[in-house]
Amino acid sequence: QKRVAVLTSGGDAPGMNACIRAVVLACEQNGHECIGYKHGYNGLLNQEYTEFTADIIHNLIQQGGTVLHSARCLEFKTQEAAQRAASNLDALNIDTLIVIGGDGSFRGAMHLSNHWDGQVIGLPGTIDNDIAGTDATIGYYTAIETAVSSIDKVRDTADAFERLFLVEVMGRHAGFLALSAALASAADYVVLPELFNGEEETLNDIHAQLTVRRELRGNISYIIVLAENVWPGGINDLSQRLNALTNSEVRPVILGHVQRGGSPVSQDRILATQLGAHAVSLVGKPVNAVMVGEVNGKPCEVPLPMTWESTKPLDESAVQTMQALINSRYA
Ligand code: ATP
């Protein structure tokens, strides 16, 4: 029997609760005790934790957000903080710490592991899907759904006035969410960090595509999905420059934090449940400083540094399909 602690850190993502639930239930089934640290690494530094009860776990799978709360904790980057966290974990006789979060949280987990003898396991929880070593991250599928349903609504009003809309989608510095949202919402164009060739080239390309469509079909609505952090001057700058170039009103829409919220879709619930259970199956085994991910439907263990040292590429066939649709005259 071991003592396990779990925390959620960094940007919150739908399905973090489902993952906490999976960890707690798997611990119970395997005879381990489980506590939850609150507010990410802050809880670890301040010894702020909670015991889990049946009331906390009941219905948790369907709730957005995280009952343990998430937070950033700049202080955790210091050596002193990692040592304090290690002695706090030892004071509670914790054998294994499970960290649900993104690549920053995994750097933190590795940092702790360098100062603590216990076992550290990461679980990928972020809407960005920007973690190498796993096909998908917990929260990514729900964020796609949220973005798509928002873009569907933008399309209704865009069609009514035959307007150009620019919709900014999250993703940090990766284009997974923007590409998937663009494909599923039948966006007319998408601007992705992985394929960005500079401002002038992008502006000219959009203008050329729009001109072809307009020559064929007259004034039409046109939806451009923009991944956040790609356009150097931000969405308003792109909007104004497109306005001038195309001689049409361009409306910018930033989807923002709604993409982090909501009840997780079934894919995220299943991923969270499978990964959480697999992480607990490793408790007490000679495996340390790994992330548990899923590749081709199978759980796998990846050394934590690999999750941020290699860059996960966009799906090549999805890129090609999107490109063909952008060039299509009838889309
Ligand atoms: P997301 O990408 O979804 O926002 P994330 O986990 O990458 O999630 P970050 O804000 O980058 O979010 O990191 C979360 C926390 O992890 C930080 O606030 C900090 O406490 C810790 N952390 C990040 N980088 C390091 C590091 N190099 N050393 C120690 N701790 C770190």
Any idea what DSSP says for residue 30? Answer: T
Scan for tokens 């307007």, then name that residue: 163
CA of 2 to the centre of ligand 1 (A): 27
Query: Ligand 1, closest atom to CA 82?
Result: 29
The angle that helices 266-281 and 16-29 make with each other, rounded to 10 degrees, is 40
Q: Could you tell me what percent of the chain has a pLDDT over 90?
A: 93
- Mean pLDDT across the stretch 19-28? 98
What pLDDT does 217 receive?
86
| Rg, Å, the chain Cα set | 22
Long-range Cβ contact pairs of 110-115 (< 8 A, separation 24 or more): 110/289, 110/304, 110/305, 111/76, 111/77, 111/82, 112/44, 112/82, 112/85, 112/86, 113/288, 113/289, 113/304, 114/82, 115/79, 115/82, 115/83, 115/85, 115/86
Q: Which of 12, 103, 128, 188 is catalytic?
A: 128
Mutate-to-test residue for ligand 1 from 7, 9, 140, highest number of ligand atoms within 8 A of CB: 9
pLDDT bin (cut points 50, 70, 90) of residue 187 is very high
Tell me which residue has its CA closest to atom 27 in ligand 1.
107
Complex ipTM over 0.85: yes
Give yes or no for residue 219 having a pLDDT over 90: no
Atom number, ligand 1, closest to the C-alpha of residue 72: 18
Mean pLDDT to the nearest integer, 79-98: 98
So what's the pLDDT on residue 220?
A: 86
CA of 292 relative to ligand 1 center, distance in Å: 18
Query: Ligand 1: which of 42, 105, 112 to mutate, judged by most atoms within 8 Å of the beta carbon?
Result: 105
Q: Is 196 exposed, middle or buried (0-12, 13-18, 19+ CB in 10 A)?
A: middle
126 CA closest ligand 1 atom index: 3
Residue 330 has pLDDT above 80, yes or no: no
d(CA 211, CA 67): 50
What's the gap in Å between 76 CA and the centre of ligand 1?
9
Q: What percent of the chain has pLDDT over 70?
A: 100
Looking at the CA of residue 103, tell me the nearest atom of ligand 1: 7
Res. 297 pLDDT band, cuts 50 70 90: very high
pTM given for the model: 0.97
Residue with CA closest to ligand 1 atom 22: 108
- Measure the CA–CA gap between 252 and 233, rounded to whole angstroms: 13
CA of 105 to the centre of ligand 1 (A): 4
Q: Are 166 and 226 in contact (CB under 8 A)?
A: yes
Ligand 1 atom index nearest CA of 42:
20
What is the reported pLDDT for 159?
87
Which protein residues are within 6 Å of ligand 1, measured from CB?
A: 9-11, 41, 72-73, 76-77, 101-105, 107-108, 111, 126, 128, 172
Q: Report the pLDDT value the prediction gives residue 320, as an integer from 0 to 100.
A: 97
**250 CA from centroid of ligand 1 (Å):** 35
Q: Is 128 an annotated catalytic residue?
A: yes
Measured CA angle at 185 (ends 226, 195), to 5 deg: 35
Instruction: Concatenate the DSSP letters of all residues of 46-90 into one string.
Output: HT-EEE--HHHHTTGGG--S-TT-----GGGGSHHHHHHHHHHHH
Mean pLDDT of the chain: 96
Better-scored residue on pLDDT, 196 or 220 = 196
Mutate to test the pocket of ligand 1, among 8, 42, 46, 76 (most ligand atoms within 8 A of CB): 76
* Residue pLDDT, tens place only, 299-322: 999 999 999 999 999 999 999 999
Model confidence at 331: pLDDT above 80: no
Instruction: Give pLDDT, residue 26.
Output: 98
In this predicted model, what pLDDT tens digit does every residue of 132-186 receive, in sequence order? Answer: 999 999 999 999 999 999 999 999 999 888 889 999 999 999 999 999 999 999 9
Measure the CA–CA gap between 112 and 288, rounded to whole angstroms.
12
Q: Which of 64, 234, 264 is nearest to 144 (CA)?
A: 264
